[in-house]
Protein backbone atom coordinates (compact mmCIF):
# COMPACT_ATOMS: atom_id res chain seq x y z
CA UNK A 1 0.00 0.00 0.00
CA UNK A 2 1.29 3.38 -0.99
CA UNK A 3 2.23 5.81 1.66
CA UNK A 4 0.57 9.19 1.59
CA UNK A 5 2.79 12.11 2.42
CA UNK A 6 1.69 14.90 4.67
CA UNK A 7 1.25 18.31 3.14
CA UNK A 8 3.47 21.04 4.52
CA UNK A 9 1.47 24.02 5.70
CA UNK A 10 2.65 27.64 5.47
CA UNK A 11 4.76 29.21 7.05
CA UNK A 12 7.23 26.28 7.03
CA UNK A 13 10.67 27.31 5.64
CA UNK A 14 10.70 24.52 2.99
CA UNK A 15 7.88 26.37 1.20
CA UNK A 16 10.10 29.44 0.94
CA UNK A 17 13.24 27.90 -0.51
CA UNK A 18 14.31 27.37 -4.11
CA UNK A 19 14.02 23.71 -5.10
CA UNK A 20 16.98 21.80 -6.55
CA UNK A 21 17.16 20.17 -9.98
CA UNK A 22 16.72 16.41 -10.12
CA UNK A 23 19.74 14.75 -11.77
CA UNK A 24 18.22 13.33 -14.98
CA UNK A 25 19.90 9.94 -14.47
CA UNK A 26 18.20 9.71 -11.06
CA UNK A 27 14.65 10.09 -12.38
CA UNK A 28 14.25 6.33 -12.91
CA UNK A 29 15.84 5.48 -9.57
CA UNK A 30 13.59 3.53 -7.15
CA UNK A 31 13.75 6.38 -4.65
CA UNK A 32 12.57 9.00 -7.15
CA UNK A 33 9.92 6.70 -8.61
CA UNK A 34 8.61 6.05 -5.12
CA UNK A 35 8.45 9.76 -4.35
CA UNK A 36 6.49 10.40 -7.57
CA UNK A 37 4.02 7.58 -6.76
CA UNK A 38 3.61 8.89 -3.24
CA UNK A 39 3.01 12.42 -4.54
CA UNK A 40 0.31 11.07 -6.88
CA UNK A 41 -1.31 9.21 -4.02
CA UNK A 42 -1.13 12.30 -1.82
CA UNK A 43 -2.71 14.54 -4.47
CA UNK A 44 -5.40 11.93 -5.17
CA UNK A 45 -6.42 12.05 -1.53
CA UNK A 46 -6.62 15.81 -1.22
CA UNK A 47 -9.88 17.65 -1.16
CA UNK A 48 -10.07 19.40 -4.54
CA UNK A 49 -6.32 19.50 -5.19
CA UNK A 50 -5.38 19.80 -8.88
CA UNK A 51 -1.64 20.27 -8.50
CA UNK A 52 1.14 19.44 -6.07
CA UNK A 53 4.79 20.51 -5.93
CA UNK A 54 7.53 18.52 -4.17
CA UNK A 55 8.29 21.26 -1.57
CA UNK A 56 4.66 20.85 -0.43
CA UNK A 57 5.57 17.35 0.76
CA UNK A 58 8.85 18.54 2.24
CA UNK A 59 11.11 17.59 -0.71
CA UNK A 60 13.14 20.50 -2.04
CA UNK A 61 13.20 19.16 -5.61
CA UNK A 62 12.03 20.58 -8.93
CA UNK A 63 9.07 18.25 -9.38
CA UNK A 64 5.38 19.01 -9.65
CA UNK A 65 2.21 17.21 -10.65
CA UNK A 66 -0.81 18.56 -12.46
CA UNK A 67 -4.06 16.63 -12.45
CA UNK A 68 -5.89 15.93 -15.68
CA UNK A 69 -8.76 17.61 -13.86
CA UNK A 70 -7.18 20.97 -14.75
CA UNK A 71 -8.08 20.26 -18.38
CA UNK A 72 -11.69 19.61 -17.41
CA UNK A 73 -11.86 23.02 -15.79
CA UNK A 74 -10.68 24.52 -19.09
CA UNK A 75 -13.16 22.49 -21.08
CA UNK A 76 -15.89 23.78 -18.85
CA UNK A 77 -16.89 20.23 -18.02
CA UNK A 78 -16.52 21.43 -14.52
CA UNK A 79 -17.06 25.06 -13.66
CA UNK A 80 -17.86 26.73 -10.38
CA UNK A 81 -21.60 26.07 -10.82
CA UNK A 82 -20.96 22.39 -11.35
CA UNK A 83 -18.76 22.41 -8.28
CA UNK A 84 -21.54 23.81 -6.10
CA UNK A 85 -24.03 21.34 -7.56
CA UNK A 86 -21.74 18.45 -6.83
CA UNK A 87 -21.57 19.49 -3.23
CA UNK A 88 -25.30 19.80 -2.78
CA UNK A 89 -26.46 16.80 -4.76
CA UNK A 90 -25.49 13.44 -3.31
CA UNK A 91 -25.61 11.56 -6.59
CA UNK A 92 -23.28 14.02 -8.25
CA UNK A 93 -20.98 14.03 -5.24
CA UNK A 94 -20.54 10.27 -5.51
CA UNK A 95 -19.90 10.58 -9.21
CA UNK A 96 -17.26 13.24 -8.66
CA UNK A 97 -15.43 11.20 -6.04
CA UNK A 98 -15.36 8.18 -8.32
CA UNK A 99 -14.12 10.24 -11.24
CA UNK A 100 -11.40 11.79 -9.09
CA UNK A 101 -9.89 8.34 -8.54
CA UNK A 102 -9.35 8.01 -12.26
CA UNK A 103 -7.59 11.31 -12.95
CA UNK A 104 -4.26 10.96 -14.63
CA UNK A 105 -1.41 13.07 -13.29
CA UNK A 106 1.12 14.81 -15.49
CA UNK A 107 4.59 14.91 -13.97
CA UNK A 108 6.93 17.85 -14.56
CA UNK A 109 10.55 17.41 -13.53
CA UNK A 110 13.10 20.27 -13.86
CA UNK A 111 10.56 22.46 -15.69
CA UNK A 112 11.81 25.42 -17.72
CA UNK A 113 9.55 28.15 -19.11
CA UNK A 114 9.96 28.42 -22.89
CA UNK A 115 7.23 30.95 -23.59
CA UNK A 116 4.85 32.96 -21.48
CA UNK A 117 2.15 35.32 -22.71
CA UNK A 118 2.02 38.98 -21.84
CA UNK A 119 -1.76 38.83 -21.62
CA UNK A 120 -2.96 37.95 -18.17
CA UNK A 121 -6.17 36.71 -16.58
CA UNK A 122 -7.38 37.27 -13.04
CA UNK A 123 -8.97 34.19 -11.47
CA UNK A 124 -9.50 32.75 -7.96
CA UNK A 125 -6.84 30.46 -6.57
CA UNK A 126 -6.21 28.40 -3.49
CA UNK A 127 -3.30 26.33 -2.18
CA UNK A 128 -3.11 23.03 -0.29
CA UNK A 129 -0.34 24.60 1.81
CA UNK A 130 -2.43 27.66 2.69
CA UNK A 131 -5.69 26.18 3.98
CA UNK A 132 -8.84 28.28 4.04
CA UNK A 133 -7.50 31.12 1.88
CA UNK A 134 -8.66 31.92 -1.63
CA UNK A 135 -8.01 34.96 -3.73
CA UNK A 136 -7.75 36.43 -7.20
CA UNK A 137 -4.32 36.15 -8.78
CA UNK A 138 -3.23 37.63 -12.09
CA UNK A 139 -1.48 35.02 -14.25
CA UNK A 140 -0.38 34.76 -17.85
CA UNK A 141 -3.05 33.30 -20.09
CA UNK A 142 -0.64 30.96 -21.86
CA UNK A 143 2.59 29.21 -21.02
CA UNK A 144 4.90 26.73 -22.71
CA UNK A 145 7.09 24.60 -20.48
CA UNK A 146 9.84 22.08 -21.19
CA UNK A 147 10.34 19.36 -18.60
CA UNK A 148 11.15 15.69 -18.03
CA UNK A 149 8.40 13.16 -17.36
CA UNK A 150 8.61 10.32 -14.83
CA UNK A 151 10.35 8.12 -17.43
CA UNK A 152 13.13 10.67 -17.87
CA UNK A 153 11.80 11.72 -21.27
CA UNK A 154 11.94 15.37 -22.21
CA UNK A 155 8.69 16.94 -23.42
CA UNK A 156 7.26 20.34 -24.26
CA UNK A 157 3.77 21.28 -23.25
CA UNK A 158 1.81 24.38 -24.12
CA UNK A 159 -1.10 25.26 -21.86
CA UNK A 160 -3.68 27.98 -21.61
CA UNK A 161 -6.18 29.36 -19.13
CA UNK A 162 -6.72 27.22 -16.04
CA UNK A 163 -4.07 24.63 -16.89
CA UNK A 164 -1.58 27.44 -17.55
CA UNK A 165 -2.53 28.92 -14.17
CA UNK A 166 -1.88 25.66 -12.34
CA UNK A 167 1.54 25.34 -14.01
CA UNK A 168 2.45 28.90 -12.95
CA UNK A 169 1.25 28.24 -9.39
CA UNK A 170 3.42 25.09 -9.22
CA UNK A 171 6.44 26.83 -10.78
CA UNK A 172 6.14 29.43 -8.04
CA UNK A 173 6.28 26.65 -5.43
CA UNK A 174 9.63 25.54 -6.89
CA UNK A 175 10.91 29.08 -6.34
CA UNK A 176 9.63 29.47 -2.80
CA UNK A 177 6.74 31.70 -3.85
CA UNK A 178 3.15 31.27 -2.60
CA UNK A 179 -0.03 32.62 -4.20
CA UNK A 180 -0.62 34.80 -1.13
CA UNK A 181 2.44 36.83 -2.24
CA UNK A 182 0.68 37.73 -5.49
CA UNK A 183 -2.98 37.85 -4.53
CA UNK A 184 -4.92 40.92 -5.69
CA UNK A 185 -7.73 40.42 -3.20
CA UNK A 186 -8.83 37.59 -0.96
CA UNK A 187 -12.30 36.12 -1.31
CA UNK A 188 -14.53 34.21 1.06
CA UNK A 189 -15.60 30.72 0.19
CA UNK A 190 -18.48 29.35 2.30
CA UNK A 191 -17.30 26.81 4.87
CA UNK A 192 -19.36 23.98 3.42
CA UNK A 193 -17.80 24.45 0.03
CA UNK A 194 -14.33 23.75 -1.02
CA UNK A 195 -12.53 25.58 -3.81
CA UNK A 196 -9.92 24.09 -6.11
CA UNK A 197 -6.44 24.10 -4.61
CA UNK A 198 -2.96 23.37 -5.86
Rounded least distance, CB 81 to Zn ion, Å? 24
Taking Cα atoms as reference points, which of 148, 112, 108 lies closest to residue 25?
148
Detail the residues annotated as belonging to a binding site for Fe cation: 127, 169, 173
- Cα–Cα distance for residue pair 161/10, rounded to 1 Å: 26
**Residue whose CB is less far from Zn ion, 95 or 122:** 122
Give, in degrees to the nearest 5, the angle at Cα 55 between 182 and 131: 55
Instruction: Determine the 3-state secondary structure of 53 from DSSP.
Output: strand
Pick the piece of the chain touching Zn ion (CB under 5 A) from 10-18, 22-30, 125-133, 135-143: 125-133
Rounded least distance, CB 15 to Zn ion, Å? 9
- Cα–Cα distance for residue pair 166/170, rounded to 1 Å: 6
Asked if 127 is part of the footprint of Zn ion (rule: CB under 5 A), the reply reads yes
Plot region of 34 (φ>0 → left; ψ -120 to 50 → alpha; else → beta) = alpha
59 is catalytic: no
Strand ranges for the chain from DSSP E: 51-53, 63-67, 105-116, 120-127, 130-140, 142-148, 154-160, 185-187
Asked if 137 is part of the footprint of Zn ion (rule: CB under 5 A), the reply reads no
Instruction: Determine the 3-state secondary structure of 55 from DSSP.
Output: helix
**Residue whose CB is less far from Zn ion, 116 or 177:** 177
| CB of 50 closer than 8 Å to CB of 67 | yes
**Residue whose CB is less far from Zn ion, 83 or 198:** 198
Q: Closest residue to Zn ion, Cβ-based?
A: 127
Which of 21, 68, 170, 184 is the catalytic position?
A: 170
Pick the piece of the chain touching Zn ion (CB under 5 A) from 91-99, 101-109, 127-135, 158-166: 127-135
Asked if 109 is part of the footprint of Zn ion (rule: CB under 5 A), the reply reads no
Catalytic residues: 170
Q: Which residues bind Zn ion (CB under 5 A)?
A: 127, 198
Amino acid sequence: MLKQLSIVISPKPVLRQVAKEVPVDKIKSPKMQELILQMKETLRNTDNGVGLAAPQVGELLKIFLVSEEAEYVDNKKRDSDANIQMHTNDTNKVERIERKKDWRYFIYINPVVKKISKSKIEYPEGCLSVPGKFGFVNRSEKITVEAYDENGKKFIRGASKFYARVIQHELDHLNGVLFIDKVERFIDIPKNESGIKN
